[in-house]
Chain A
């Protein structure tokens, strides 16, 4: 059997804050299977971004291992592409040059990546904006570029760190729809971090609920909603039952935290 694309194996992360040691993550075990859309749901400050950064190779665990295709992660890699919370585009490049940055940097021939870039730009609805600079784009458009520039690299796993968190509600819905659409095309393996319950349930095959301080994975729920999904799935009874379950988990956790910390 093939190993999971991403395997997090007993990972803990500690930070030193002045004199004190703060435990951000504690004993995380977690895996993302091939073609799975996995979501991690947690409150802000629960360490979910730290977890994602370790999968990306930007950060290292204090204890435990992060494996990619069975091999320990050792620094960033285009096969583990990241869509950041803020679009993180290069402001001195046009949309087109931002999108082809990855393939160009990896030395792919222009003949190969040009065609791919055209397809991806089309897919995320950016046609006609190729020669615009990021400063000329709205927040949603920037995030589309952020998605296009990683899709063009055809990564094995897409790591998304609250990519729609800074967008207004309407744009966010549009982007979620876009992401569902992209997923249907590629069955792209995704690890998606969010604090938005509905977003996690709408997009993912599995939702792992995290607790805060120290961050742990409380429970992993399977989202057995049929695909292809559309935005109106959020009104279905199955969706609402799942939402109730998640809310109950979160509530249980807040009560426990309130008891413990007084």
Chain B
């Protein structure tokens, strides 16, 4: 492990150096792209505040905005999981439900969530509901699709084993199909949370007046590219943290699978 640390740092540090040099040597238009140092400085002020700029919207407001976005992601994502996982289980398990619901999902799925934006604002207005709709919808597709796949991949042998031991359909679903589909469900959740972060930025840019997406668009309008870049990094960081959180949950729940991988 110790030897791998410098290796993974090599690329980001190289890119950082390149960025710094590009700004210093004026390979990019001056004032358009901030230097890494400027971004760090502005980010610091944005997070911790500055006694000289108490009225600036970019002084000490980071946490509030990060929380707005995180809360929306969490709510939209939870909504998507609460609908997506049970529905995916039913689609994968029951042929009738699959024939009834699956085609509609497959037809609606290619519509990008960005294309839903005007519709969402028209229906839900410039409120949280609009953002939740977009985030929930975006995260719903990968969750439902991966859950369905997971259910359909359940080994016939295990299903037969359960039935031979007297398990009724509900027991088979809970004790065999669900655990068997769990790795796939977690894949769906990880993809879903990624889409949720994309959706929250898009929604906040246009459909609500708070959160990191709102700051990003606003900062762009007033020419604060340093804040734009700091926002990009913030979103990346939060996205990374939420992905790791789901990964950790999956590792705790799928201990048996880790054993299989090491066998």
Q: Tell me the bound Cα distance from A57 to B166 in angstroms.
A: 12
Q: Mark A41-74, 1 if CB is under 8 A from B, else 0.
A: 0000000000000001110000000000000000
B160 in contact with A149 (CB, 8 Å): no
Taking residues whose C-beta sits less than 8 angstroms from the other chain, chain A's interface range is 20 to 34
Over the window 75-91 of chain A, the binary record of Cβ atoms lying under 8 Å from chain B Cβ atoms (1 yes, 0 no) is: 11110111010101111
- Which of A57, A92, A102, A135 is within 8 Å of B165, CB to CB? A102
Residue B71 at the chain A interface, CB threshold 8 Å: no
Residues of B224-263 contacting chain A, CB below 8 A: 254-257, 259-260, 262-263
Interface hub of B166, B176, B254, B262 (most chain A Cβ within 10 A): B166
Point out the residues of chain B lying under 8 angstroms from A106, CB to CB: 165-166
A135 and B164 form a contact (CB under 8 A): no
Tell me the complex Cα distance, A144–B160, Å. Answer: 18
**Measured CA separation A136–B164 after assembly (Å):** 24
Chain A neighbourhood of B254, CB < 8 A: 92
* A76 with B179, Cβ < 8 A, contacts A88-B158, A91-B257 known: no
Q: Is the interface of A mostly helix, strand, loop or mixed?
A: loop
A92 surroundings in chain B (CB, below 8 A): 179-180, 182, 254, 256-257
Given A92-B179, A149-B165, A153-B165, check contact A82 B256 (CB 8 Å): no
Residues in A whose Cβ lies below 8 Å from that of B176 = 90
A12 CB to closest chain B CB, in angstroms? Answer: 22
Q: Say how far A165's CB is from chain B's closest CB, in angstroms.
A: 14
In the docked arrangement, what's the CA distance between A11 and B28, Å?
Answer: 82
B53 in contact (CB, < 8 A): no
| Interface residues of chain B: helix, strand, loop or mixed (majority) | helix
* B161, CB-defined interface residue at 8 Å: yes
Cβ contacts under 8 Å, B161 to chain A: 82, 84, 88-90
Q: 1/0 per position for A96-140, CB-CB distance to B under 8 A? A: 000001100110000000000000000000000000011110000
Specify which chain A residues have a CB less than 8 angstroms from the CB of B260 in the assembled complex: 91, 135
Q: How far is the CA of A243 from the CA of B249 in the complex (A)?
A: 57
Nearest CB of chain A from residue B103's CB, rounded to whole Å: 27
Q: How far is the CB of A109 from chain B (nearest CB, A)?
A: 15
A81 x B259 contact (CB < 8 A):
no
Q: Does B259 contact A78, Cβ atoms closer than 8 Å?
A: no
Shortest CB distance B176–A (Å): 7
Subset of 22 A-B contacts with CB under 8 Å: A56-B160, A57-B164, A58-B164, A76-B164, A77-B164, A80-B164, A82-B160, A84-B157, A84-B160, A88-B161, A90-B158, A90-B176, A92-B182, A92-B254, A101-B175, A105-B166, A105-B171, A134-B256, A136-B259, A136-B263, A149-B165, A150-B164
Measured CB to CB, the residues of B under 8 A from A are 155, 157-158, 160-167, 171, 175-176, 179-180, 182, 254-257, 259-260, 262-263
